[in-house]
Structure 1
Amino acid sequence: MGSPFARFDWETRLYLAAHPVAYPLLRGLARLGPVVRVPGVGVVVNDAHHARDVLMDGETFRKDGPGSPGELWTPVLGPSVLLNMEGDAHRALRRRLTGLFAPGYAESLVDDVLAVPLRDVSDRLARGEEVDVVALMRVMAGAVISRVIGLETASEHDYRALFEAGERIVSMISLRTRRLTPSQIARARAVLNPLGDIAAQAYAEGSPSTVMGRMRTLGLTESEARGAAGAFFLTGTETVATLVPRLIALLHDTGTMDAPDLDRAIDEAMRVTTPTPVMLRSVHAETRIADVAVGPGDRVLIATSNCCRAYGPFDPSRPTPPELRRLWFGAGPHFCLGYPLALAETRAVGRALLAAGPLTITHRTAARGVLIPTYRHLRVRRGEENAR
């Protein structure tokens, strides 16, 4: 069994490598109370109960005002992409998209895209070869999002390039970013516009076997489908690609590689790694969060990482409290629409890797200059040797 300190050490290293200044400050805020007003930042929520209350109230706490995600992404993705909508328009679009990634469809899509490459990975591990889980996930995530957008390619080079293009956009964002600069917006559009054209072509063809074709069947306009494709591209690649290496590392370091309930282990890994370290909302009416008064124009920063890490170290055997249930994917009207797809992809890759075990980590390094903390390399192979 791995040292109990290895888990804490590596997860902390990942956060510090990604955010050497912001992360210690964020963790320091957790000691100031469940809700605290911080000059220059906004009202910071460190408690899962209060975080869920904020997320459930889409009328008072919105994504389309100053300091919200809408201010960040609307110049890049357009006005109608769920990420930046509220009210009747958001509810209407959300209803049309509800069945887009139904669990059965998501599992079928992932199995179709990843079955062959996962067999190849299993064969490599069976032969005693090393596999870099980070490099593997860049290809896997690129392959799945290619299918979602409608990109016709079967090249690992293209999948990797697609992932890296999304990574360049997301890396423009830090925990302190309120809005993109004109040059950043131009760079993001240079990547997203060609992908939008591909998505629009798949939409026009209207095949029910494609995600874009299904959007047309569900009644979305071409503009809405393009925007949704861009949003899925930005939010649906790094989340899974960063999670799987950390999941494998957590299971390895805590001696729980043989965890019988993979879905439970995935949920617990998501809690610890928190794919969305912070969430932003703009206040549109006077109210209170705990004992802190807020009003129109206030910015609320939900410190999701603090909310989730308050419940202790990685332990797949421990039930998740109701207030924490998938909080890392949001709650209420903006709960992540792509959650079933993310779970299906994580489950497929995790199952294949764990079935090839027992695995040992032979080498790992932390990634720097990224928004979501992750590994730069995480190499594994079959065997019981000690990790470096």
Structure 2
Amino acid sequence: MSWERRLYTAAHPFAYPLLRGLARRGPVVRVPGVGVVVNDAATARRVLMDGEAFRKDGPGSPGDLWTPVLGPSVLLNMEGDGHRALRRRLTDLFTPAYSDALCARVLAGPLDAVAARLAAGAEVDLVDVMRHAAGAVIARVIGLDADEAACRELFEQGERIVAMVSLRTRRLSPAQVARARAVLEPLGGAAAKAYAAGDESTVMGRMRALGLSEDEARGAAGAFFLTGTETVATLVPRLIALLHDTRHLDRVAADRSLLDAAIDEAMRVATPTPVMLRSVHAPARIGETAVRPGDRVLIATHNCCRAYGPFDPTRPQPPELRRLWFGAGPHFCIGYPLAMAEIRRVAGTLLDAAPLAVTGRAAARGVLLPAYRTLTVRKARA
């Protein structure tokens, strides 16, 4: 069994075999109690591009999960004119140049320490590295001045909230909503303080300059915290493991022009967003399947992506994929440049230390996003 499959089966021992079994039923299949499942990338893209018929704010959609926690206006649970207006104001928030500069500032110290440990021949746990790195980046985004211990605690708080959700979850219970709000409340306070300061070198200050209200900035901070932190943190160890296991690591280390293609291919195989949800708002067809208002659509992103074979960073990806794991159309992830900047920065530090050997690993259990519990590496002999 490949390590990627082990990660999925450890995280979702019952739901994952069911999800993969549905891939063999065809591109679109109606499953009682689940909804209409989409297993084909081109079909999935058409659904995601149609924000009129397929929405994120209806029954069975992400809005059912996150609106009680984050409020009604945080992009991931909005549609229509309100969504378009808010997204236009946020378009310039995470430009590639700004995202790269932010990650360079925040991660310089932690990554220098990682590089020094690898150069000295010590083992480094990439899962632990990413908990610190992802916590540090999101702390800066929110406006927190956090030391290493606080960054790790911040990451763990987000992890505990996300762990409340499984592939079968439709709504959080009142107790779960209360726990999530208790975690997010102090973060919202920090975001509001940074917003009030108006420093445009901070993300919250830039939101104020872009014309967002304080409530919109607080909601956005919570959404970034919940949806972006763990996605990036789980991906980097999987990227390095995939490169190592397929013997592509040294090649990418020697030619950094290959890194972005390797990241995209790792995201295709790992599929950090294994499923996406939509609620049907108007009568439509998905392939040959008729759907009606109130139907739930489950886009099996993992099935869509894994249909294109095993990990191979030298193989071009077809147009219908085009970073499908970040969404498509009006809901394409607005934090994509920040995620890529963070991944590139950490991966670059690790590749600088190549050749690397994986010295130990274990799969995480009880998590929403399949992940390594530990993945240790050490500088190998050339």
Same fold (TM over 0.5): yes
Q: 1:254 aligns with which of 246, 258, 266?
A: 246
1:20 is aligned to 13
Partner-residue secondary structure (3-state), 1:152? coil
1:53 and 2:46 aligned: yes
Q: Deviations over 1:157-207 (max 9, x none)?
A: 111000000000000000000000000000000000110010001001111
What residue number does 1:228 align with? 220
Aligned residue number for residue 124 of structure 1: 117
Q: Show the counterpart of 2:29.
A: 36
Q: 1:328 offset after TM fit, Å?
A: 0.1
Residue in structure 2 matched with residue 368 of structure 1 by the alignment: 365
Matched, 1:73 2:66: yes
1:4 maps to what in 2?
A: none
Query: Cα offset for 1:384?
Result: 4.8
How many angstroms apart in 1 are the aligned matches of 2:288 and 2:43? 11
- Which whole-Å deviations, capped at 9, do the CAs of 1:272-325 have from their partners, x for residues lacking one? 000100000000111100000001000000000000000000000000100001
> What is the match of residue 114 of structure 1?
107
- Give unpaired runs (5+ residues) of structure 2: none
Residue in structure 1 matched with residue 339 of structure 2 by the alignment: 342
Q: Pairwise CA RMSD of aligned residues?
A: 0.8
Q: What's the counterpart of residue 5 of structure 1? A: none
**CA-to-aligned-CA distance 1:238-285 (integer Å, 9 cap, x gap):** 011000000000000000002231111000000000010000000011
Higher mean displacement: 115-124 or 313-322: 115-124
**Once the 2 structures are TM-superposed, how far is the Cα of residue 120 of structure 1 from its aligned partner?**
1.2
Q: How many Å separate the matches in 1 of 2:119 and 2:354?
A: 9
1:174 corresponds in structure 2 to 166
Q: Deviations over 1:199-251 (max 9, x none)?
A: 00100111101000000000100000000000000011101100000000000
Residues 202-217 of structure 1 correspond to what in structure 2 (within 5 A)?
A: 202-217=194-209
Letter in 2 for 1:156: E
Per the alignment, residue 3 of structure 1 pairs with: none
Which of 79, 85, 95 aligns to 1:92? It is 85
Partner of 1:315, secondary structure, is coil
CA drift of 1:104 comes to 0.2
Task: Show the counterpart of 2:189.
Answer: 197
Q: Distance in 2 between matches of 1:150 and 1:287?
A: 43
Deviation of the 1:152 alpha carbon: 1.0
- Distance in 1 separating the partners of 2:23 and 2:48: 19
TM-score, normalised on structure 1? 0.96
Residue identity opposite 2:213 in structure 1: T
Instruction: Write out per-residue CA displacement over residues 109-155 of structure 1, whole angstroms, 9 at most, x where no aligned residue.
Output: 000000121111111100000000000000000000000000012x2
Unaligned runs of 5+ in 1: 1-7
CA–CA distance in 2 between the matches of 1:285 and 1:166? 35
What SS does structure 2 have at the residue aligned with 1:147? helix
Question: Which of residues 255, 261, 265 is equivalent to 1:264?
Answer: 261
Equivalent-residue separation in structure 2 for 1:15 and 1:230 (angstroms): 27
Q: What is the aligned length?
A: 377
**In the alignment, structure 1 residue 351 sits paired with structure 2 residue 341:** no
SS for the counterpart of 1:364 is strand
SS state of the match for residue 237, structure 1? helix
CA distance in 1, matches of 2:313, 2:300: 23
1:316 corresponds to which residue?
313
Check if 1:304 corresponds to 2:301: yes
Offset of residue 361 of structure 1: 0.4
Q: Which amino acid aligns with 1:203?
A: Y
Distance in 1 separating the partners of 2:276 and 2:46: 13
Aligned match of 1:161: 153
